[in-house]
Amino acid sequence: MQKILSVIKREYIQIIRTKGFIIGTILGPVLMAAFIVVPVVVQFISVDQQEKIGIIDASGETFTELEKKLDQKLKDGSRRYLLINFPLKDDLESLREELNQKVLQKELTAYIFVPADISGDGEAEFVSEHVSDFDKRENFNRALSGIVIEKRLKCEGLDPLRISEYMRPVALVTKKVTKKGVERDAGGTFIISYFLVLVLYMTLLFYGQIILRGVIEEKSSRVVEIVLSSLKPFQLMAGKIVGIAAVGFTQYAIWALFGLAAARYSKRILTGFVPAAESFPMPSIPSYILVYFVLFFIMGYFLYATMYAAIGSMVNSEKEAQQLIMPVVMFLVIPILLMMFVIRSPDSTFSVVLSMIPFFAPILMLLRICVLLPPFPQIVTSLLLLLLSIVFMIWLVAKIYRVGILMYGKRPSFGEILKWVRYS
């Protein structure tokens, strides 16, 4: 036991110290936060500048309406869009050419062409150098449509105000029934499920790879037999797997701290940039989900770690390992591909069966737990099946590892590996 502890300590310290770990752990959440916060912030920063928009109003009556509708203000109180009317002369084409030039010379950000029959089938045009600013496009489209719809309604003798009152959509509030009662859900469940499952998937993949690399390093540097002069192959394997699990927990702990800080301050920070965020309910993760998350991470980790260790012991280099690792990675990828299906129908027979299969269980059962807490017996069954497979895997892999770790040269065939299992 003392020796396994030494191995655990070595693995832990060696990995914690690597640049990869430090960067992955610290920078990971920072990057993730940046991905969410920066675009929001940038969007609100970049608009704080007046834009000149040219208007060619062939209908002759849209310009004033448009000026009324597009009245968004900048922080200093001036108009966000300065609309400039270009009266239509005889030749439309030369006017358009003139405006095209103005756009290219940056005198105008864009111009809008309103056709004479805008109330009929006419197509309005938004002409700009940058047509990818969908926010701006959306603004103009909404304003134009509003003007035209109002005009059409008036032609029919209808009151636009009353019509828009009638057309008000129904508010559909999503609520989630749990044993504790009914609670409001603004899509948070979906985001959290997605997020947790992806974190689980990435970490399983990541730590599997670390184990694989570690075993191959021990083998290719030929240190393994020196170590084995002091302990059993099983002790070495167990120490390595547990040591790297400890690294995983350290990483999770750091991320959890980030998460707590984010949960506490994110709303305040977000509200600072976007006042509207005040009313947006922040998703919160129920504690039982976190417990299951840790449980399934541990289970999934041991299941996959043993497989990665076995593969590492069979090969001589990481390159050789890549082919063998494919099926194992597939076991992780398949549940990710099935995720959308399970989210949509978490209690269908197919989903239930999939979440019982040990290789898929860590990801899919966790997903089901997030989306719709399955009956307790189902969770217990999947955990038990997982545990049984882990025990079986450790038994099997220990045999492969014991022989493989000291075999150099040609990669063993499947038949040879079977022989190792049978004879050792």
Partner 1 sequence: MNALEIENISKRFGNFYAVKSLSLKIPQKTVYGLLGPNGAGKTTTIRMVMNIIIPDTGAIKVLGRKMDEEMKERIGYLPEDRGLYPKMKVGELLQFLSELKGLRGQEARRRIDYWLERFDLSDWKQKKVEELSKGMQQKIQFISTVIHDPELIILDEPFSGLDPVNTKLLKDIMLEMKKKGRTIIFSTHRMEQVEMICDNICLINKAEMVLEGNLSLIKKQYGKNSVVLDYDGDASFVQGLAEVAKVDDYGKSMEIKLKDKADPQELLNTLVSKIRIDKFEVMEPTLNAIFIDKVGDRDAKDTVSH
Distance, in Å, from the CA atom of 204 to the CA atom of 241, rounded to the nearest integer, reads 12
Mention every residue, 6+ apart, whose C-beta is less than 8 A from residue 219: 312, 313, 316, 405, 408
- Long-range Cβ contacts of 134-138 (<8 Å, 24+ apart): 135/43, 136/51, 136/110
Distance, in Å, from the CA atom of 341 to the CA atom of 108, rounded to the nearest integer, reads 48
Total number of residues shown for the chain: 424
Least spacing, CB of residue 234 vs partner 1, in Å: 10
Task: Please report, as residue ranges, which positions from 229 to 248 form the binding site for partner 1 (by CB under 8 A).
Answer: 229-232
Sole window of 213-221, 288-296, 331-339, 378-386 interacting with partner 1 (rule: CB under 8 A): 213-221
Residue 78 near residue 52 (C-beta atoms within 8 A):
no
Site string for partner 1, 167-206 (x = CB under 8 A): ----------------------------------------
Contact between 408 and partner 1 by CB under 8 A: the answer reads: yes
Contact pick of 14, 266, 271, 316 for partner 1 (by CB under 8 A):
14
Sole window of 172-180, 219-227, 339-347, 364-372 interacting with partner 1 (rule: CB under 8 A): 219-227
Residue 155 near residue 163 (C-beta atoms within 8 A):
no
Distance, in Å, from the CA atom of 102 to the CA atom of 68, rounded to the nearest integer, reads 24
Contact between 217 and partner 1 by CB under 8 A: the answer reads: yes
Task: Please report, as residue ranges, which positions from 347 to 406 form the binding site for partner 1 (by CB under 8 A).
Answer: 406
Contact between 424 and partner 1 by CB under 8 A: the answer reads: yes
Six-digit token string for 293: 């998350």
Mention every residue, 6+ apart, whose C-beta is less than 8 A from residue 67: 83
Least spacing, CB of residue 324 vs partner 1, in Å: 22
Contact between 223 and partner 1 by CB under 8 A: the answer reads: yes
Residue 169 or 409: the one with the smaller Cβ distance to partner 1 is: 409
Residue 46 or 230: the one with the smaller Cβ distance to partner 1 is: 230
Mention every residue, 6+ apart, whose C-beta is less than 8 A from residue 5: 239
Residue 153 or 231: the one with the smaller Cβ distance to partner 1 is: 231
Residue 3 or 79: the one with the smaller Cβ distance to partner 1 is: 3
Q: What are phi and psi of 316, to 5 degrees?
A: -105, -20
Residue 229 or 279: the one with the smaller Cβ distance to partner 1 is: 229
Least spacing, CB of residue 2 vs partner 1, in Å: 7
Residue 208 or 233: the one with the smaller Cβ distance to partner 1 is: 233
Contact between 10 and partner 1 by CB under 8 A: the answer reads: yes
Residue 55 or 241: the one with the smaller Cβ distance to partner 1 is: 241
Residue 178 or 230: the one with the smaller Cβ distance to partner 1 is: 230
Least spacing, CB of residue 304 vs partner 1, in Å: 24
How many residues contact partner 1, by CB under 8 A? 22
CA-based max dimension of the chain? 97
With b meaning 16 or more CB within 10 Å and e meaning fewer, what string describes 60-69?
Answer: eebbebbbeb
Residue 247 near residue 15 (C-beta atoms within 8 A):
yes
Distance, in Å, from the CA atom of 228 to the CA atom of 224, rounded to the nearest integer, reads 6
Residue 168 or 222: the one with the smaller Cβ distance to partner 1 is: 222
Least spacing, CB of residue 321 vs partner 1, in Å: 18
Mention every residue, 6+ apart, whose C-beta is less than 8 A from residue 327: none
List interacting residues with partner 1 (CB under 8 A). 2-3, 6-7, 10, 14, 217-218, 221-223, 225-232, 406, 408, 424
